[in-house]
Structure 1
């Protein structure tokens, strides 16, 4: 499905699609609703690997979202497809490996923009959002804070 004129689209991609990408997807979904622009955004998440395909978000992902008064995600893990590079304007990775995988798979004729999500973080101490799996809880808290700041900064570019 191609982008509808006037719509914007964001795909969040991490290794397994059960932690960071799911968290960022849910944060961004709620931010566009809060800003009143949900009708112009298509949002999803995916994995670079096949390891977690078909699985629900990791329990600490939803526990962290809930702690921050966000809704639980019911996303089912999937792997990024070639078509995603044509369907999404912005594709976000979370670390160097994600970005290598995304760049390697990107078709030459795709106009999608590949972005390291942490490059948008207003806290410039690091631009890498480390995989929090399997824990501890603090790793998920750190990933949440980084995703939240980065997603807000990204959405602010469209004022």
Structure 2
């Protein structure tokens, strides 16, 4: 059984591509790349087709994550049928996603940090207008939630067998 995960932020150039890259590496390191598919998108359309922010890529690269192949896209209504998990970086993104999904969605729509194992924070802060340390904070939160998400997916897959 394949699980499909979509990470969503506002512009799809900082937080959601970070989550995409971190989770992709975690999944690959676990040997699960054939059973978990990953993508990212933004609720806005400003950066469609653009690479992740250079600061995002630089911070991710320092920790061994390659985001260079990712390109921004906008979330669509079809995503709610395509993906099992649509995970928002903050409450504003979540509100937008729930409005788009309506009551037709059969997927899990929530905050990504709901899967965090050790962080008490519920939202991944947008580092776009801040300093370099904001990108490190994003990585720390994303790594924590990515581990929790993978454990959740593995638990659900194990329950289905």
- Into which bin does the TM-score normalised by the smaller protein fall? over 0.9
Alignment of 1:107-126 (within 5 A): 107-126=102-121
Q: TM-score, normalised by structure 2?
A: 0.91
* Selected match of 2:89 from 79, 94, 99: 94
- Contact kept? 2:119, 2:144, Cα under 8 Å: no
Q: In the alignment, does 2:31 pair up with 1:36?
A: yes
Runs of 4+ in structure 1 off by over 4 angstroms are none
Post-superposition Cα deviations, 1:21-58, rounded to whole Å, max 9, x if no partner, equal 00000011111111111101111000001111121110
Q: What is aligned with 1:66?
A: 61
Structure 1: 5+ residue stretches without partners: 1-5
- Contact kept? 1:10, 1:88, Cα under 8 Å: yes
CA distance in 2, matches of 1:144, 1:150: 10
Deviation at 1:72, TM superposition (A): 3.0
- 42-51 vs 115-124, greater mean Cα deviation: 115-124
Q: Aligned pairs, how many?
A: 154
Structure 2: 5+ residue stretches without partners: 156-161
Deviation at 1:107, TM superposition (A): 4.0
Q: TM-score, normalised by structure 1?
A: 0.92
Deviation at 1:156, TM superposition (A): 1.2
